[in-house]
Amino acid sequence: MSGDPSSIRYRRGAAPFGALLLLTAAGAAAADPVEDERWELLRATYFADRAIEDAGQLLGLEAPKRAQDAAIVPLKVLLSPELRAKKLTLIVDDNPVPLAAAIDLGEASAPGALETRVRVNEYTNVRAVAETEDGRLLMTSRYIKAAGGCSAPALKDPAQSLARMGKMKMNLPDRIPAGSPVTAQLLISHPNNSGLQFDQVSRFFIPPHYIRSVSVSYNGKPVLEMTTDISISEDPNFQFSFVPEADGMLEVRAVDTKDKVFTESWPVKVAPAS
């Protein structure tokens, strides 16, 4: 018997995350050079050489200072009407796939709050970048400390997630006034499997399986067109605002990486504007 006993008992799993992760330094401060360097790389990847301005009061981002549950970290973006945003990008810098969602805001959408939940692997900056109708990019960011101890950005119950896959739920207020912004919450049951973990039995990486796009429309007019990735939590959850001019149908179409299409619609009955 020789060497470290643990090396006998255990075999080393292959590193489950992409090479990008190597750039991160756990516990690094928000303005630390490593974080800055990483953002430079991400900025060049996602926005090429376009200028990005500080959004100031036009764009708000609410996130907990410390992630409670690393698998479910709420992010809320506040879009002011003056911003006239047509597109929103959410980025979690230190995640294996930093681009969480790219969201086109359609003609039936309303400015206001847009909320979702993300996985957070490490201490990380999170960012919202808005593109205005006249083509400017404005950004706001927050720093999130990772959850401690046994909290991990992993599925709690993969079997249940798979069994419930594709089920959707829409929460709407009881009274919906015509022509005014309404806040809706969409839940889509899906494991949103990152696919990064190593399968001990097959000795292969489990292929990713996640929702890659979500479209929301009202009476045929687009509300949101989202491209989403594995930084979005299991059972993807989106809160958004839209303006129903009249009675109609709120429709959702989601597609996952196995090209499975999930659709559902909800009738909306508006109350006369007061």
Partner 1 sequence: MRPPPAMTAARAAPTLAAAALALLWAGAGAAQELPVREVAPGVFVHEGAHEETAPGNGGDIANIGFVVGEDAVAVIDTGGSPAIGRRLRAAVESRTRKPVRYVVNTHMHPDHVFGNGAFPEAELVGHANLADALARRLETYKARLAEELGPEAAAGIGAPEVDVAVADRLRLDLGGRALEIQAFPTAHTNNDVTVLDPATGTLFTGDLLFVERVPAVDGSALGWLRAMDALAAQPAARVVPGHGPTLEGWPASLAAQRRYLDSLVTEVRQALKAGRGLSETVERAATAEGLGWALFETYHPRNVTAVYAELEWE
Q: Which is nearer to partner 1, 193 or 217 (CB)?
A: 193
Per-residue H/E/C for 142-188? EEEECCCCCCCCCCCCHHHHHHCCCCEEEECCCCCECCCCEEEEEEE
Going by their DSSP bridges, the two strands 182-188 and 124-132 should be labelled as unpaired
Q: Which is nearer to partner 1, 5 or 272 (CB)?
A: 5
Residue 132 Cβ vs partner 1, minimum distance, rounded to whole Å: 27
41 contacts 21 by C-beta, under 8 angstroms: no
Q: Which is nearer to partner 1, 7 or 263 (CB)?
A: 7
Exposed, middle or buried, 220 (CB in 10 Å: 0-12/13-18/19+)? exposed
Q: Which is nearer to partner 1, 69 or 245 (CB)?
A: 69
Binding residues vs partner 1 (CB under 8 A): 1, 4-13, 15-17, 26-27, 62, 64, 68-72, 74, 76, 115, 117, 121-122, 146-160, 164, 167, 169, 171, 173, 187, 189, 197-201, 233, 235, 237, 239
Q: Which is nearer to partner 1, 58 or 72 (CB)?
A: 72
Residues whose CB falls within 8 Å of the CB of residue 191, separated by 6 or more in sequence, listed in order: 155, 158, 161, 162, 165, 209, 210, 234
Q: Which is nearer to partner 1, 57 or 160 (CB)?
A: 160
The CB density around residue 116, as the number of other CB atoms within 10 Å, is 24
Residue 82 DSSP SS3? helix
241 contacts 184 by C-beta, under 8 angstroms: yes
Residue 16 Cβ vs partner 1, minimum distance, rounded to whole Å: 5
Residue 166 Cβ vs partner 1, minimum distance, rounded to whole Å: 13
Give the Cα separation of 133 and 20 in Å (integer). Answer: 32
Chain center to CA of 190? 14
